[in-house]
Amino acid sequence: MFCECSWRQKFLKYTIFISNFLGWLLGLGLLGLGAWVVVQRRKYDSVSSLAVSPAIIILVAGSVVFIIGFFGCLGAMRKKRWLLETYVVLLTILFLLEVVAGILAFVYRDEIRDEVSDVIKETVENYKNPDYDHELQDVLDEMQKQLTCCGATNYNDWESNPYFSCSSPTSTNINASACGVPRSCCKTDKDNPMCGVNTRRSTSTTNLAPSQTNVYLDGCVSALEEWFDEYVVAIGWTAFALAVLQALGIVFANCLLRDIQVEMRVSEAGEEIFGL
């Protein structure tokens, strides 16, 4: 070689290497997390009839980041043009796919919200039904606990469930849950299986209004919307930051490719002149 690496080339080389090495580790971690989710948390896969399994998404994302990081690291350190060119192509495709996904999520946000609402309502209606997916019951219970909500629209949605309807028999030998809600709707004492019993019935003995009971009143659809609204700004800024980093990666890799090409031409010219 007839030219030493300039400070700019060294900067580009090690910046690309370090950033992609971290990305490679991230991809490896996502692959491990996705595998763990598939093995240990299969019950959460059934929450979404509107999209592919979150575990699959994690595995795909981990694979993509892992592969891109591999090409970026090796291409930068070895200064191999085909590796860097592959890295640029893959990173550009990923960038464009993320833009398209963001646009589609924005355009179809109402459809996504309606689908989530339908899933929650269906789960409320079929809660405790032995013929229905019992795993969705666990998801709904966890959602009601974490988001402090009850039912789809409000706590009275449980009237649509035959086990919790006020028209169900109230004999403890038949159905002790009549006119109540699941214990996951309780504000306190969630471990008490009786905490949700008769919470939607005002009796002459207690004369309790629903607002005075120990259950959440608001539905989970609005709670999910509030959760998303709370974090949408953070999600948006995170996506923007990732897009900027990816764009910089594309620019830096192209600059390094150009430097390598110039270096190769200088080397070839030197060999012709000096006969080396």
pLDDT in tens, 35-88: 776 665 554 444 444 334 556 777 788 888 889 989 988 888 888 889 999 999
For residues 103-110, average pLDDT = 82
Q: 265: how many CB neighbours lie within 10 A of its CB?
A: 11
> What is the signed CA dihedral for 32, 38, 39, 43, rounded to 10 degrees?
140
Q: Is 197:213 a contact under the CB 8 Å cutoff? A: no
Taking only the tens place, the pLDDT of each residue in 186-234 is 888 777 777 877 778 765 444 454 444 688 999 999 998 888 888 777 7
Whole-number pLDDT of residue 42: 53
- Cβ contact 198:214 at 8 Å: no
pLDDT, position 150 = 93
Please provide the average confidence, as pLDDT, over all residues in the chain. 79
Check residue 270 and give its pLDDT. Answer: 65
Bridge partners (DSSP) of residue 99 are none
pLDDT of amino acid 272: 63
Instruction: Evaluate the CA torsion angle 129, 133, 135, 139 in order and state its sign.
Output: negative
Backbone region of residue 180 per phi and psi (left: phi > 0; alpha: psi in -120 to 50; beta: other values) = beta
Closest CA to 20 of 261, 250, 258: 250
H-state helical runs in the chain:
7-40, 54-78, 81-107, 109-125, 134-146, 220-274
DSSP three-state, residue 263: helix
Tokens of 143: 């959602």
Q: At residue 131, does pLDDT exceed 80?
A: no
- In whole angstroms, give the CA distance from residue 9 to residue 256: 6
pLDDT at 88: 92
